[in-house]
Every structure is written in C-alpha cells, then in structure tokens.
Structure 1
Amino acid sequence: MKDVVLKVDHVGMQFNLSAEKVDDLKEFIIKKLKRQITYKEFWALKDVSFELKKGERLGILGFNGAGKSTLLKVIAGVLKATEGSVTTKGKVVPLLELGAGFDKQYTGKENIFLYGAMLGYTKEFITRKYEEILEFSELGDFINVPVKNYSSGMKARLGFSIATIVEPEILILDEVLSVGDAKFRKKSEKRIKDMFDKGVTVLFVSHSLEQVKRLCDRAIILEHGHIIANGTVEEVSAIYEEKLNK
C-alpha cells in the first residue's frame, strides 16, 4: 500500500470581515480606536478532510469563492487553519502566485537567488542550477534587467522556472499552467508531467476542466468551503459538468 503523504483533517479557515463599509484608512483607525468596528465571521473552509497517497494527483474544482486557493495556502503553510490539521511528509513546493516574492528593483538574476532562498534553496544549489533556470525561462538578456520592467508573463515564467528546478514530494499548483504564451504553457505542462512520472504527489487548481481531466487521477469539488464530491477524476468531472450546465 502506498504511503499517505498528505492528510487534511477536519480543516476550517475563518476570516473576520468588517460588517460595515469604511471609506479610508483614517476613518478605519478612528472607528477602531473608538471600538466602533464590528466584524462578522466568514468560514472560507469548513470541515475539509481528505488524504493523498504518494503519486496521486488531485484536481480541486469549484466556482470562484469556493475556497480552492485558501485550501492550497493552508496546505502550503501560508495560512494557519483556524481548526483541524494538515500533515505532510516530505518537501512541499507551492506554485501559487508566481513571482509574488520578487523585488521589483532587482534584476531577474538577483531575484533568482532571492526567490530561491524564499523557497528554501541554498545559494550553492541555485548557483549550480542557474543556467538551467535561465534557459527554461527563455528570458535571455532580460535576466539582467530590473523585474519592474517585466511583463506579468515574464515574471510568471521566471517564477515557474525557479520553483520547478527541484523535485518535491508534494507539488501545489494554482492556475500556474495558464502562464505565458502557448509555447511556454506546453513546455511548462511537459515539465510538470515529467514530475508526475517520477511519482510526485500533486494538488492542482485550474478553471480548465479539460486540463484537470488530462493531468489528474482524483478530484474534489469545493462549494462554499465544503467538499461536496470526492472520487475519481471521471466521476467528479461528470458532477462538475452538470453543475456548469445548470
């Protein structure tokens, strides 16, 4: 029996939302000091539980606001769950907001080392892998240009190239295969598939049902923070297609 590498156990994530409209920061501070701000509870996730075994690939489906990205951030450790627990085995690499950690004033080259350090890679490791990262990103001489001059596609390509230079036990993907032009998307998908072939466990969020069906073997549907379907990708995709056509 394959090892369980991810266990999500009755996870809930609560946010406190302001119950009233505040027009600017000054008004907010004054009202907060006077204790005139009231909050209402919003549960982005509630009682979410599932397990993944080594090599399984889980597609996470759901409409906007269902809690998909929040779930990935809790699993990645970006957010701490309000209740429940997440247990992982091995290195987790989250590809959530590619390039979100870049310093716009630094060049692409400098950001390779900065972003790599944020992902837990050593300077020696990045130095060894630098040419490979540069080649995959297809940035050429732009690698020596400050990132503030990059398009969003260029930043995403660089972020993807850095983050996927290692082979983690668990890979978390949030819409990242939609970055760049068609040629780069095809190349990105091939790199991810190569990881699949080596037994990486994957959590994958995409608005493309066809992409989920092509890349995943299991799927869940989130609705208002709850799992409403959990099974094979064929079974769950059929349920999701019905919901799309309503």
Structure 2
Amino acid sequence: MAPAARDAPVISVTDAGIRFKRNRSSRRSFKDLFAGRNRRSRPGEFWPLRHVSFDVHAGEAIGVVGRNGQGKSTLLKLVAQVVYPDEGAVAVREGVAPLIEITGGFVNDLSVRDNVYLTAGLHGMTRREIDQRFDEIIEFAEIGDFVDTPYKHLSSGMKVRIAFAVISRLEEPIILVDEVLAVGDKAFREKCYTRIEELLAGGRTLFFVSHSERDLLRFCTRGLYLDKGSLVLDAPIREVVDRYNADYGVV
C-alpha cells in the first residue's frame, strides 16, 4: 500500500451529526416548525451519528467497525455526500468512487451495454473513455454473453459484477466500499479484492465498511470503531478489531 501523505486531509469530519425521523407519523406543531429550530432531539427523531470527528489523508486505508445499526453506512453516505450533516461539517476534497448500494442507479429496462454507458457517464467518464474501457469492463464482469440483455434479467450476482466492474474503473482518488460483494461468488470476490489491492497500490484512499475481520486486516491499516453513533476508537486496525472483539466477541 502507498504510504499516507501528510498534506491537507482529503476527508475531514468535524463534530458531525445527522438526525433521522424514527416515525414518519410524528407530528410537529405550527409553532415547532417556525420557532423550534434547535438541535435537541424531538419525539420521533434520533441521531444515528453524533459528535464524530476524524481526518483521512491521501493513501490511507480506513476500516470502519461496529455492530449493525451503529452508524457505519450512514457515515459512508456522509462521506459520499449522498446525505448531509445536520450539525458539524464533512469536507471531501477529492473525487469519490462509491461502491455502496452498488446497483443503485441502474435501469432495469435498459441493456447491460446501455447501463454501462449511463452509469459511467453519470460518474463523469466521457463517451470516449467508456468506449476505450468497455471491453475491459465486460471482461472483468464475466457477462459477455449478456451484454445486450435487459439489466432486469440478470441474476443478483451478475448485477453486482457489472456494477463493480464499472465503478472500480473510475479514476477517483477515494474509494468507498460498504459490504457490496456479499452477493458475489467466492472466486469473483477474490477477483474484486485483487482489484481493490491494485487501486491501493496506485495510491488510492480507501474507506471500507465490513463485518469481516479477515478483510479489514487485509486491506486496512487504520480503524474507526463506531458504537451507538459515536466514534469510540480511532487507532491502528488491529487494535480496533481487538477492542471490538473484546466488547462484542466478533466483528
């Protein structure tokens, strides 16, 4: 893995918090809407993340650890700027390749070919760039026989393969990964992991959410341990995994 450069951080999260509604039927009065705009939780609201702060420098490989429902995926969405904090700040100073909810944005009635051009284009690749990489994407995904098949007819595993093949060909400096390969077969997962290692060797920055201790130790050098929406430990990945295991028994 490339050593982390100690220039300005590429990701800065400063006292960040995000507030969600627990129950859509919760009602607020007219007075609340116009006069009650404070940061305290109201009935029917909760904070999946609050008072979270850390920096990530270029070339670092960060593993995010915690039980289900502790804010890991929400944190990735904040970094991806899919959602925005209700308090504090999240600054991302480089482009992001988001391997989260990986098949989102693909259109069922379009062919695989059309979806490749649509998705890659939405992520900033030019038509010429897609033309140059199209065969490479299809070969990596191992779905050459289905390139003109409607996307909706692919199996869930095939959908993951084509989505990973597209997103992992983006040249963005920051890679966000959130358990996206759980559907893939073992051989293809290893192929994807090799691709992630190639990207890391090229100096990319990795932000990786996983429940797999083996994968966290394979890719990451530093860990963030989230519990009840708070960052309880920011330390070398081995220390973070050991602390989590001591608290809960298994990543």
- TM-score normalised by the chain length of structure 1: 0.89
| SS of the residue 2:101 aligns to | coil
Q: Distance in 1 between matches of 2:47 and 2:93?
A: 27
Structure 2 partner of 1:28:
none
SS in 2 for 1:176: coil
> Which deviates further from its counterpart, 111-120 or 130-139?
111-120
| Identical-residue share of aligned pairs (%) | 38
Separation in structure 1 between the aligned mates of residue 66 and residue 105 of structure 2, nearest angstrom? 27
Partner residue of 2:20?
Answer: 15
Looking at structure 2, the residues matched to 78 and 20 of structure 1 have their Cα atoms a distance apart, in angstroms, of 24
Cross-structure match for 1:24: none
How has the CA–CA distance of structure 1 residues 19 and 98 changed in structure 2, closer, same or farther, with 3 Å as cutoff? closer
Judge conservation of contact 2:18–2:48 (CA < 8 Å) in 1. yes
2:131 counterpart residue number? 127
Distance 1:167 1:124 in 2: 15
Name the count of aligned residue pairs.
Answer: 235
Unaligned runs of 5+ in 1: 22-30, 33-37
Deviations 1:107-127 (A, max 9, x none): 100100111122222222111
Q: Does 1:98 align with 2:102?
A: yes
SS in 2 for 1:100: coil
Alignment check: 8 A CA contact 1:157 1:179 kept: no
Closer, same or farther: CA 42–141 of 1 in aligned 2, 3 Å: same
Separation in 2 of the partners of 1:102 and 1:166? 16
Asked whether the equivalents of residues 177 and 189 of structure 1 are also in contact (C-alpha less than 8 Å), the reply is: no
Match of 1:5 in 2: 10
Aligned-residue offset at 1:210: 1.4
> C-alpha offsets along residues 112-148 of structure 1, whole Å, 9 cap, x if unaligned?
0111122222222111111110110000111111011
**Code of the aligned partner of 1:18:** N
Q: Which amino acid aligns with 1:87?
A: A
- Which residue of structure 2 lines up, in the alignment, with residue 224 of structure 1? 228
Match 1:113 to one of 89, 103, 117? 117
CA distance in 2, matches of 1:121, 1:77: 19
**Structure (1 or 2) with the greater helix fraction:** 1
Distance of 2:209 and 2:149 partners within structure 1: 32
Runs (5+) with no aligned partner, structure 2: 29-41
Q: Which amino acid aligns with 1:65?
A: G
After superposition, residues 28-177 of structure 1 pair within 5 angstroms as: 40-177=44-181
